[in-house]
Amino acid sequence: MLVQLLSDIPLERLTARAPECNLGAYLAQIARWAGTSNGYARLLLALGRSYQAQPLPRMFERGPARQCFANAGLLALGNPSLTYVEGLADCGILPTAHAWCVDRAGRVIDPTWSNCAQATYFGIPVQWEALEEHLDETGYWGLLDGTIPRRLRDGCLGEFVHPDWTTDEMRELLPQCFER
């Protein structure tokens, strides 16, 4: 359902949401090249947003390298004031699939990368329940890696996207997915 809804949104409308950062331009280009076949780029353009990078605050510990989904997931599940975010990040080399947390002010808490203060981040803020449900169902961290979480398959974005970060613009793009 969601993939079809995303493919029905004119690409110009989605790319207009792309921020003036390199990740927004990167996603817009992927979406242009792939047309309607790249659901990942379209999903990020429709529901993602950019976040403010900062050094990892001292109150948080860095997790193992190359374990961003588990590191961010464990951090979010253990800290109710943080929101798990999944999307793309770029530390100056090449945009890559990545996961991190944000505090209530939208500042990045990246428990994986040591050079994250200058990185750019663009992703979808996920509800704690959706993250936990996906982990219970699949045994894997990472929600957008090809195994589409049930809440996304069913188009229940109101039960997937964290309500503190849901925007009116998201609701306007996909109203039927937030009415449940």
pLDDT at 145: 65
Range scoring the smallest mean pLDDT among 13-27, 55-69, 122-136: 13-27
Phi, psi for residue 60 in degrees, rounded to 5: -115, 145
| Both structure tokens of 119 | 């990185």
| Residue type present at position 122 | F
Among residues 86, 89, 12, 3, the alpha carbon closest in space to that of 39 is found at 3
Among residues 145, 125, 124, 120, the alpha carbon closest in space to that of 135 is found at 145
Tens of pLDDT along 85-96? 999 898 877 888
Q: How far is CA 26 from the centre of its chain?
A: 15
pLDDT at 15: 67
Instruction: Give the residue with greater pLDDT, 112 vs 32.
Output: 112
β-strand 49-51 against 120-126: which pairing, if any? Answer: antiparallel
Q: What's the rounded mean pLDDT across residues 127-153? A: 79
At 83 the three-state DSSP class reads strand
Angle at 151 between CA 134 and CA 132, to 5 degrees: 25
- Answer whether residue 37 shows pLDDT above 70: no
Residue 71 pLDDT level (bands cut at 50, 70, 90): very high
Residue 35 pLDDT level (bands cut at 50, 70, 90): low
Residue 111 pLDDT level (bands cut at 50, 70, 90): very high
Q: What is the DSSP letter of 165?
A: G
CA–CA gap between residue 5 and residue 113 (Å, rounded): 34
What is the domain partition of the chain in residue ranges? 50-178
Instruction: Give the residue with greater pLDDT, 90 vs 159.
Output: 90
